[in-house]
Structure 1
Amino acid sequence: MASTYGPGGGAKLRCAASSSAAAPARPVKAPRFIQHKKEAFWFYRFISVAYDNVFNPGHFTENMRDDALEPADLYSSHLKVVDVGGGTGFTTLGIVKHVDPENVTLLDQSPHQLEKARQKVALKGVTIMEGDAEDLPFPTDTFDRYVSAGSIEYWPDPQRGIKEAYRVLKFGGTACVIGPVYPTFWLSRFFADMWMLFPQEEEYIEWFKKAGFKDVKLKRIGPKWYRGVRRHGLIIGCSVTGVKRERGDSSLELGPKAEDVSKPVNPITFLFRFLIGTICAAYYVLVPIYMWIKDKIVPKGMPI
């Protein structure tokens, strides 16, 4: 495995990596109780109130965000950038450090999250709109950069979302997808499987390559208090980039969408899925607290 380690111990993987060698392969279509779009819509209806100040800090700090965006190569203020699944605009705030807000589009399916984004002064000038990551409302060859952070775990069909990233990028454009990594510890693996999609690093690389991306690279990121430990999985654990080397849409052929949000859902089934998913989410609220305490107790230099 070829890899190089940068600041903070992050690794840029130039071929299929193995963060989860000890973990069995995890089917993308395995049951996930809150990963589906309708449950996620209502989940964020409630947590949007405290998302930036309570839920996000344990999993995606400002330093992590800036580290994860570095491979996106936001070198010019004139780049045209789309932030897909941008929610409250936390990642967008990192983008507008480098790119003029007028050149940035923030898209998310949650109006409640987007309302929080609209309240941020630094995002004034950013185009903020509702939309579906698997069916982007933009013409082919539109953007110089595609960014998506903390969204892929809710996509019923990750390959379709990454194919859409390829489509909307211009020739020479770069896609940067920031998302979870799969746990190796059995209990964390159980809650991850029940909750939402925690891909293995190899899966990210495969999705990018199948969509047509070239120069695919993966960079590991994580909270500094984890000391590089990934056995519990990370809700934000890697930054994957690829470059579009041809104009037009991807040649990859896909079938119908995995989830049709227009279809009615049994309310009892919905409530059950939502409650179980929320319990799983609570576990992953406690994990970073547990790791932070271990970091404080266990002497530096010793494994945790």
Structure 2
Amino acid sequence: MASSMLNGSENLTLLRGIAPNGLGFVRSDIHGRCIPKMGLVSYARNSNSRARTLLPKCSLSSPRPASQPRFIQNKKEAFLFYRFLSIVYDHVINPGHWTEEMRDEALEAADLYDRNMIVVDVGGGTGFTTLGIVKHVDAKNVTILDQSPHQLAKAKQKAPLKACKIIEGDAEDLPFRTDYADRYISAGSIEYWPDPQRGIREAYRVLKIGAKACIIGPVYPTFWLSRFFADVWMLFPKEEEYIEWFQKAGFKDVQLKRIGPKWYRGVRRHGLIMGCSVTGVKPASGDSPLQLGPKVEDVKEPVNPFVFFMRFILGAMASTYFILVPIYMWLKDQIVPKGRPI
């Protein structure tokens, strides 16, 4: 079974463990030592089929310190962060990391083939991803959920989303009944979840049997400076972690598709903020088989002002860095002749 993955702007068909040259895979000089060897890894565990995708036998990146503090450490700080970022989000963040072309490519994996589907867009923010969803599904059947009223206010202003249900809510404690939705979509949100496994478990619960979840998010850097800023800012999961989270939640036919701005030419060492689209199918009705303990954070717990201020400074530096990275890559794409690695 072949798996289609997007590396940068190239859509690759990977079959029988054969990887093409020149795009950061075997014998490529784009990634250099970052991805030295690739191997087939099975990750769809069911009796009928074993879907396989091409992933490295070694780790995609250096280990991410589990205890490394991040600027967006909890939902309360994320709430404050987006109170200001919502003003410029669509005009500053999206052009460099989440273009319309990337959005539409990533949503192909969600298989939005019926306008009557019930879709929940979790962490929908300003509704940028929802605009891609309503191209395929009637807006009246789409719910946008986010914890930030400031982001949602921007979504309410967009004419194509007027018929959408727009509600405030928590990705780790969704206000939907079990077996509710045909599609669960979340883009650019998982990096702020204190417990990604809990959020993906909730995605499983709210879906109907045979329905599909699609989570779009960042990938961990391999370049040392990008790793540093990623660790002090927010969660950049490894590709293997996404797959493991989906499998533990109970999803089957788990697939990962790489995405990225076309000007990256396949380079992923800086940890793309929107770097992959991961999907999984719910095989049985009801709640997830995964049992979890209490939440890891209490949103009512007061934030230490000094600690928050220090993380705010580091976070501001990191966010500035990741705004400049796509500009740097775009300039390289303009200067370096086409066909040559950058």
TM-score where L is the length of structure 2:
0.85
Letter of the 1:103 counterpart: N
Counterpart residue number, 2:224: 186
Give the alignment partner of residue 135 of structure 1, picking from 173, 177, 180: 173
Counterpart residue number, 1:245: 283
- Answer 1 or 2: which has greater helix percent: 1
Q: Give yes or no for the alignment of 1:45 onto 2:83.
A: yes
C-alpha distance in 2 between matches for 1:269 and 1:17:
38
Q: Give yes or no for the alignment of 1:293 onto 2:314.
A: no
Kindly indicate whether the alpha-carbon contact (under 8 Å) linking 1:183 and 1:192 is maintained by their aligned counterparts in 2: yes
Residues 55 and 166 from structure 1, CA distance in 2 versus in 1: closer, same or farther, beyond 3 angstroms?
A: same
Counterpart residue number, 2:197: 159
> 1:30, CA displacement in angstroms?
2.9
Letter of the 1:250 counterpart: S
Structure 1 residues 164-200: Cα deviation after superposition (integer angstroms, max 9, x where no partner): 0000000011000000011100000110011111011
Q: Name the SS of the counterpart of 2:173 in structure 1.
A: coil
> 1:29, CA displacement in angstroms?
4.4
Q: Name the SS of the counterpart of 1:70 in structure 2.
A: helix
> 1:27, CA displacement in angstroms?
4.2
Kindly indicate whether the alpha-carbon contact (under 8 Å) linking 2:6 and 2:259 is maintained by their aligned counterparts in 1: no
Q: Give yes or no for the alignment of 1:33 onto 2:33.
A: no
Kindly indicate whether the alpha-carbon contact (under 8 Å) linking 2:155 and 2:161 is maintained by their aligned counterparts in 1: yes
Q: Give yes or no for the alignment of 1:226 onto 2:227.
A: no
> 1:39, CA displacement in angstroms?
1.6
Give the alignment partner of residue 234 of structure 2, picking from 192, 196, 213: 196
Give the alignment partner of residue 146 of structure 2, picking from 104, 108, 121: 108
Q: Give yes or no for the alignment of 1:62 onto 2:63.
A: no
Give the alignment partner of residue 319 of structure 2, picking from 262, 265, 281: 281
Kindly indicate whether the alpha-carbon contact (under 8 Å) linking 1:162 and 1:211 is maintained by their aligned counterparts in 2: yes
How do residues 162-177 of structure 1 correspond to structure 2 at under 5 angstroms? 162-177=200-215
RMSD: 1.9
Q: Name the SS of the counterpart of 2:103 in structure 1.
A: helix
Q: Give yes or no for the alignment of 1:259 onto 2:297.
A: yes
Q: Give yes or no for the alignment of 1:124 onto 2:125.
A: no
**Total equivalences in the alignment:** 304
Letter of the 1:288 counterpart: P
Letter of the 2:61 counterpart: A
Q: Name the SS of the counterpart of 1:215 in structure 2.
A: strand
Counterpart residue number, 2:10: 9
Kindly indicate whether the alpha-carbon contact (under 8 Å) linking 1:19 and 1:201 is maintained by their aligned counterparts in 2: no
Identity among equivalent positions (%) equals 71
Larger radius of gyration: 2
C-alpha distance in 2 between matches for 1:241 and 1:258:
25
Give the gaps of 5 or more residues in structure 2: 15-51
Kindly indicate whether the alpha-carbon contact (under 8 Å) linking 1:180 and 1:235 is maintained by their aligned counterparts in 2: yes
C-alpha distance in 1 between matches for 2:5 and 2:216:
18
Letter of the 2:334 counterpart: K
Structure 1 residues 1-23: Cα deviation after superposition (integer angstroms, max 9, x where no partner): 97445694145783473498452
Structure 1 residues 181-232: Cα deviation after superposition (integer angstroms, max 9, x where no partner): 1110000011001111101100000000000000000000000000010000
Kindly indicate whether the alpha-carbon contact (under 8 Å) linking 1:144 and 1:173 is maintained by their aligned counterparts in 2: yes
Structure 1 residues 33-83: Cα deviation after superposition (integer angstroms, max 9, x where no partner): 224212211111111111101111100000000000001000000000000
Kindly indicate whether the alpha-carbon contact (under 8 Å) linking 1:18 and 1:201 is maintained by their aligned counterparts in 2: no
Give the alignment partner of residue 212 of structure 1, picking from 215, 240, 250: 250
C-alpha distance in 1 between matches for 2:190 and 2:248:
16
C-alpha distance in 2 between matches for 1:3 and 1:28:
30
Give the gaps of 5 or more residues in structure 1: none
Kindly indicate whether the alpha-carbon contact (under 8 Å) linking 1:86 and 1:106 is maintained by their aligned counterparts in 2: yes
C-alpha distance in 1 between matches for 2:250 and 2:328:
40
Letter of the 1:266 counterpart: N
Residues 110 and 6 from structure 1, CA distance in 2 versus in 1: closer, same or farther, beyond 3 angstroms?
A: closer
TM-score where L is the length of structure 1:
0.96
Structure 1 residues 101-145: Cα deviation after superposition (integer angstroms, max 9, x where no partner): 010000001100000000000101100010000010111110000
Kindly indicate whether the alpha-carbon contact (under 8 Å) linking 1:172 and 1:244 is maintained by their aligned counterparts in 2: yes
Q: Name the SS of the counterpart of 1:181 in structure 2.
A: coil
Counterpart residue number, 1:84: 122
Kindly indicate whether the alpha-carbon contact (under 8 Å) linking 2:5 and 2:256 is maintained by their aligned counterparts in 1: no
C-alpha distance in 1 between matches for 2:151 and 2:271:
25
